[in-house]
């Protein structure tokens, strides 16, 4: 057989880590315990060099010296001074190795740490052939919305002004503000500090809180010694009744925080509990519109490289999509199998690695089926399991 007939060896490259979730792990660094772990759970099993693409396989063996091991590489790959080997047995395990000596494709190493995931492995990943499984219809936010006010989208201000215009027919004196850190208004400081609403139904009477069911915070409690000055200033401006209601946003992590607030200052009548409640419907609409305004759909198909019932590895080349992925922790997309119906998953981004050609490898965890044409979530999971079973029959291998 001449050289032209030999299959080309895959080019091995080191991936650049752009993001990687920290696992809940236990760390073993005592040589005797590391040796025990190797002998009981690792020796004889294939390991892989972390952050190599395609993953470089390695075998590890003991020597007659304490904490000195040999690593044999199964491809033309040169280990540097330090590498992490990993395998996923019943749990994900990593070995932090330092090279002592190199002889051809065999290395002598010390192991400084064994890192063991605290959570057992729930499912194996299947390697997927090209054009077998795709990600499609990716719903993702363009702009980051989180507790940091500096990250708020400019589009929020536009939506606030639009809501203000709609509400002005009922409340000509309404104002809606965002949580601009340069805004030094006392209402901004109160909302930022407490995240609650405030309501003084009558500034001419000493009866600030009349509706405790609204779960507002007493202004006296919030302002302390500044309360009298604040109230006097409102009265001098001809204000009879005053309320502030936060516009609350819940992010993917479950954090609840204000992205803005309503202010009603009435000079002709006393505001009632129903006025405060009326703003709740508009608050919900504003938050929904902000989410819609920040959401785009990426319609290109992207290759799934490996897959399980709990997650997938997807390759992304589109530069615009990459920029959004770097700012997000979650997205929704359709999982499309060749010749089969698709499933829509809500997923969290657990790691992002970059290849030398600029493509991203995105590690996703599935956290619920959000839409399906096959009925209940249980049926959807069964559909996914059946689809994976079909891939196995077609020759897909576990990795």
Domain assignments of the chain as residue spans, ordered by start = 3-120, 126-142+297-393, 149-293
CATH 2.40.10.220, applies to 126-142+297-393: yes
Tell me how far apart the alpha carbons of residues 338 and 75 are, in angstroms, rounded to a whole number.
Answer: 32
- What is the fold of 149-293? Beta-Lactamase (3.30.450)
- At 151 the pLDDT is 47
Q: How far apart are CA 18 and CA 351, in angstroms?
A: 8
Q: Residue 50: is its pLDDT beyond 50?
A: yes
User: How is residue 302 annotated by DSSP?
Assistant: E
**pLDDT tens figures, 214-236:** 888 888 888 989 999 999 999 99
On the CB side of 80, CA atoms within 13 Å amount to 7
Q: What percent of the chain has pLDDT over 70?
A: 87
Positive or negative torsion for Cα 244, 250, 256, 259:
negative
Specify whether the CB–CB gap between 359 and 316 falls below 8 A: yes
Q: What is the pLDDT of residue 358?
A: 96
- 126-142+297-393 matches 149-293 in fold: no
The predicted-structure confidence for 176-187, as pLDDT tens digits, reads as follows 998 877 778 899
Is the pLDDT assigned to residue 244 strictly greater than 80? yes
Band (pLDDT 50/70/90 cuts) for residue 79 is confident
Q: What percent of the chain has pLDDT over 90?
A: 44
Cα separations (Å) of 228 from 102, 185, 235?
78, 16, 11
CA 278 to chain centre: 33
Q: How far apart are CA 84 and CA 23, in angstroms?
A: 15
User: Distance between CA 103 and CA 131 in Å, rounded?
Assistant: 40
Residue 385: predicted pLDDT? 86
The more confidently predicted of residues 122 and 210 is 122
pLDDT at residue 29 tops 90: yes
What is the Cα–Cα distance from 239 to 53, expressed in whole angstroms? Answer: 67
Band (pLDDT 50/70/90 cuts) for residue 149 is very low
Q: Decide which of 339 and 86 is more confident.
A: 86
What long-range pairs does 3-7 form, CB within 8 A, spacing at least 24?
none
DSSP 186: H
- DSSP secondary structure, 255-276, as one string: -EEEEEEEEEEESSS---HHHH
This model's pTM is above 0.85: no
Average pLDDT, the chain: 85
Residue 41 DSSP SS3: helix
Q: What number is the average pLDDT over the span 362-367? A: 90
Residues 6+ apart with CB under 8 A from 280: 245
Query: Rounded to whole angstroms, how far apart are CA atoms 300 and 261?
Result: 38
Kindly tell me if the per-residue pLDDT of 150 is higher than 50. Answer: no
Structure confidence at residue 34 as a pLDDT band (50, 70, 90): very high
Q: At what angle do helices 154-167 and 273-293 cross, to 10 degrees?
A: 140
Helices marked H in 196-340: 219-223, 227-236, 273-293, 319-327
Q: Over the stretch 251-297, which tens digit does the pLDDT of each residue have?
A: 655 678 898 999 999 999 899 999 999 998 889 888 888 777 777 88
**Which pLDDT does position 209 carry in this prediction?**
53
Residue 116 has pLDDT above 80, yes or no: yes
């Amino acid at each position: 057989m001449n050289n032209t007939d030999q299959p080309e060896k895959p080019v091995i490259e080191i991936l650049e880590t752009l993001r990687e979730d920290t696992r809940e792990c236990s760390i073993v660094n005592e040589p005797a315990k590391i040796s025990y772990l190797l002998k009981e759970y690792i020796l004889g099993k294939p390991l892989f060099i972390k952050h190599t693409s395609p993953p470089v396989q390695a075998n590890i063996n003991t020597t007659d010296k304490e904490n000195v091991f040999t690593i044999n590489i199964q491809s033309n790959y040169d280990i540097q001074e330090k590498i992490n080997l990993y395998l996923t047995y019943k749990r994900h395990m990593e070995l932090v190795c330092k090279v002592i000596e190199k002889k051809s494709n065999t290395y002598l190493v010390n192991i400084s740490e064994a890192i063991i995931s605290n959570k057992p492995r729930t499912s194996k990943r299947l390697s997927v052939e090209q054009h077998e499984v795709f990600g499609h219809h990716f719903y993702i936010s363009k702009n980051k919305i989180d507790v940091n006010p500096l990250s708020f989208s400019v589009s929020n201000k536009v939506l606030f002004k639009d809501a203000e215009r709609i509400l002005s027919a009922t409340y000509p004196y309404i104002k809606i503000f965002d949580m601009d850190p340069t805004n030094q208004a006392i209402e901004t400081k109160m909302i930022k500090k407490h995240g609650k609403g405030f309501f003084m139904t009558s500034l001419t009477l000493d009866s600030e809180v009349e509706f405790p069911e609204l779960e507002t915070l007493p202004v006296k409690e919030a302002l302390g010694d500044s309360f009298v000055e604040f109230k006097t200033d409102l009265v001098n401006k001809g204000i009879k009744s005053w309320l502030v209601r936060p516009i609350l946003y819940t992010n993917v992590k479950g954090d609840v925080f204000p992205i803005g607030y309503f202010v009603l200052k009435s000079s002709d009548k006393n505001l009632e509990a129903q006025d405060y409640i009326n703003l709740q419907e508009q608050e919900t609409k504003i938050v929904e519109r902000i989410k819609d305004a920040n959401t785009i759909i990426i319609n290109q198909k992207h290759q799934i490289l490996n897959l399980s019932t709990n997650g997938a590895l997807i390759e992304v080349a589109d530069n615009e999509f990459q920029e959004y992925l770097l700012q997000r922790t979650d997205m929704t997309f359709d999982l499309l199998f060749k010749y089969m119906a698709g499933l829509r998953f809500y997923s969290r981004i657990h790691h992002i690695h970059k290849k030398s050609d600029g493509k991203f490898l995105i590690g996703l965890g599935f956290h619920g089926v959000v839409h399906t044409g096959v009925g209940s979530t249980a049926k959807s999971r069964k559909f996914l399991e059946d689809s994976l079973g079909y891939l196995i029959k077609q020759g897909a291998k576990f990795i």
